[in-house]
Chain A
Amino acid sequence: MLDNIQVLIVAPVFAVDLLLQGLFIGAIFALAAYGLALVWGVMNVKNLCQGDFVIMGGYIAFTMSWFDIHPIIALPVAFVLMFAFGWIVYLLIIKRVVDRDMFTSLLATFGLSLLIQQVLQLIFGPEVQTTDAGFDSIVLADSMIILPWARIISLILASVLALGIIVFMKYSRMGRAIRATAQDPRAARVLGVDTNLVYAFTYALNAAICGAAGVLVAMIWVIQPYYGIVHSIRAFVIVTAAGLGNLPGVIAAGFGLGIAEKYADFVFGAEFAVAAVVSMLIIVLVYRQLQLYRLRQVVR
């Protein structure tokens, strides 16, 4: 472990390489986390199958690569398919838990997450998969830094998608309805907003964002049926650290988590990669709790 830290100090070019890797991965994390923040903020549903939606999107790209369809074309397909899937999930499950206590939605989505990962495992098997985008790499600094074009393209696609969603939320009629419902569902209903439709649309949009993020994950990283839970945990870390309705915060936390994960991976070794992510969740939660303690006055 100390040796690895020394390597970073002696050869700062490795540190730059890790930083870049973290940034590219972090952009995708931020995308999935934004979807979670949307559902959490608008519907107050803690969606624990967030990561499984991401993995589903990845498998859509993987399936299409069998037919020699490029992942970039798979991206809009995954977006549309996952939108439809999210709408169905809303009608079957989320609609019935949205007014209940928050633990119900948490547990229902956790059950759904189990279901998705098992079905994926039955269809695709437990092997780790990836799709080959077939791009070259840029080699910098005497091949110490390798910059695959696939990563740069995925960063661009993620930014375009995020920008599109921000514009949609700000200027479209449905986007305004979603923001109104998030502020006060009752007032929105009184003013003629069909909140049920808004909820369905929000949940479906979240699934679609996750599906698109999943295509990017399959393109520059790996997918496996059981990796979903780790993606869910990442989304929770980011949203909890940034707070709801804080879009710049979500993006910053997404990049931060991506970089932190890459460094932890390098310093502690790959066998602790998942442990590092989950430990970050606990750290963020404990930090939040300390903040709350400062607000509470306890008389002893």
Chain B
Amino acid sequence: MNKTAHDGKIFAGLIAFGILGPLLFPDYTLQIALMWLMILMASTWDIMGGQAGYNSLGNIFFFGIGMYVSAIAQIGMVYDVAAYTSAFGAIVVEFTDTQYFTGLVLGIILAGIGASALSILFGVTVFGLRGPYFAIGTLGVALAAGELISGWGYVGGGGGISMPVYPGEAGASSKTFYALFFVLAISALGVIRWLLGTQFGLALNAIRDDEDKAEAMGIHTLRYKLIGWSIAAFFMGMAGAIFGNMIGFIEPLEVAFPTTTFGIFMVAMALLGGKGTLWGPVLGAILFHVVKELTWTYLLGWQWVALGLIIVVNIVYFQQGLLGWARDKWPEAFGLKVDTDAGAAAREAAE
């Protein structure tokens, strides 16, 4: 088996789906865009959670920070932010096309940088916490951020901010944001794939297996953890900025820092597919998104209960995930398979 060729095929398949999907099913453009967001969330969570063994429950923090950084940057370019937010949407600021798009690009980039900077700041304080303390500490950071922003009048507090309105016709905005999510998710996967092939990936795995020993072997563990976390934060921040612009209205508790919903879903997605593998979180995210949409359609009112049940069953009874299970069953196809049928085929080929 050639690992590089195999990953290349999956990448090609994902890119083909990403381009063809919205062309063939234009009505589902938004759904597929959200699927890319889910893939991005699960895969970036897996950098620290799966590869380095630092199970964060607060990665959604970066998503919300990115959203707010981009909002402040985009509105602040042409208007006074405090005056805009205190009017609660009564002031409609007209953005020219150039202003809107430069603001959007600048906002997304600043969101990534801002989230990364905060991840390093928080990383220094929370990375000394190990195991469950780290999980609770990161959960605390994400919860606190949502609550603090709810009380911060400058960004509209609990009332939220209306984002600049996309210029041009209605259909064009969904295509633009789809393209942004698609490119972001694919580039994040590419960066993760590249990182895991380098010494950096090995260092993260060494930290996961035994942090004290890794330190004794001369690995500067704190530096690796900070870099890993800031990469995840960079992509999450940009994703938050794009999501905020796509939704058009941001609010601290439900949209920007949904710690008890999407913050835990990303962990569940990575676990469902199999954490610590490149394609596991992708597979888990796709499955979870499909199940989520199905429960939304057929179990309306009970959808959150159904999702909570899925998470509990997944964690308690099937923790290794789909790819983890496949890896245990067919170790020679170590973490390379997306579906288990292909794993069986590989075993037959090997015999």
A residues lining the B interface (CB < 8 Å): 46, 48, 92-93, 96-97, 100-104, 106-108, 110-115, 117-119, 121-122, 226, 229, 233, 236, 240, 268-269, 271-272, 274-275, 278-279, 281-282, 285-286, 288-289, 292-293
Contacts and interface: CB of A to CB of B under 8 A. Distances in A.
Interface in B110-148: 125-126, 128-129, 131-133, 135-137, 140-141, 143-144, 147-148
Contact of B133 (A111, A268, A275, A288): A288
B140 A114 contact: no
Interface in B308-331: 308-309, 311-312, 315-317, 319
Given A118-B304, A271-B158, A282-B137, A104 B143 contact: no
Given A97-B315, A111-B264, 15 more contacts: A102-B131, A107-B315, A108-B315, A111-B268, A112-B312, A114-B304, A114-B308, A117-B260, A122-B301, A122-B305, A271-B150, A272-B148, A275-B150, A282-B125, A282-B140
A93 B308 CA distance: 13
5 contacts: A111-B312, A226-B260, A240-B133, A278-B140, A278-B144
Given A115-B309, A272-B147, A285-B133, A93 B128 contact: no
Contacts of A107: 55, 57, 135, 264, 267, 271, 311, 315
Nearest to A272: B151
Contacts, number: 121
Contacts of B131: 101-103
Contact of B312 (A93, A106, A268, A285): A93
Counting chain B CB atoms within 10 Å of each CB, the highest count among A48, A101, A274, A292 belongs to A274
Contacts of A269: 151
B204 to A, nearest CB: 17
A194 B43 CA distance: 42
Interface in B68-92: none
A90 to B, nearest CB: 12
B136 A281 contact: yes
Interface residues of B, number: 41
B21 interface: no
A101 B158 CA distance: 37
Nearest to A268: B151
A93 B151 contact: no
A108 B132 CA distance: 12
Contacts of A46: 132, 136
Contacts of B136: 46, 48, 106, 236, 281, 285
Contacts of B25: none
B298 interface: no
Interface in B146-195: 147-148, 150-151, 157-158
B291 to A, nearest CB: 15
Given A108-B316, A118-B308, A236-B136, A275 B148 contact: yes
A145 B315 CA distance: 50
Interface string B280-316: 0000000000000000000001101101110110011
Contact of A229 (B55, B143, B267, B307): B143
A288 to B, nearest CB: 7
Contact of A93 (B125, B140, B316): B316
Given A111-B311, A114-B264, A286-B125, A122 B151 contact: no
Contacts of B135: 103, 106-107
A274 B142 CA distance: 12
B141 A282 contact: yes
A275 B319 contact: no
A102 B57 contact: no
A279 B144 contact: yes
Contact of B147 (A92, A108, A275, A286): A275
- Choose among B128, B132, B141, B151 the residue with the greatest number of A CB atoms under 10 Å from its CB: B132
Contact of B315 (A104, A282, A288): A104
B126 A285 contact: yes
A106 B132 contact: yes
Contacts of A103: 55, 131-132, 135
A53 to B, nearest CB: 15
B293 to A, nearest CB: 18
Nearest to A119: B305
B137 A285 contact: yes
Contacts of A113: 260
Contacts of B140: 233, 278, 281-282, 285
B154 to A, nearest CB: 14
Given A106-B132, A118-B304, A285-B129, A233 B143 contact: yes
A291 B101 CA distance: 49
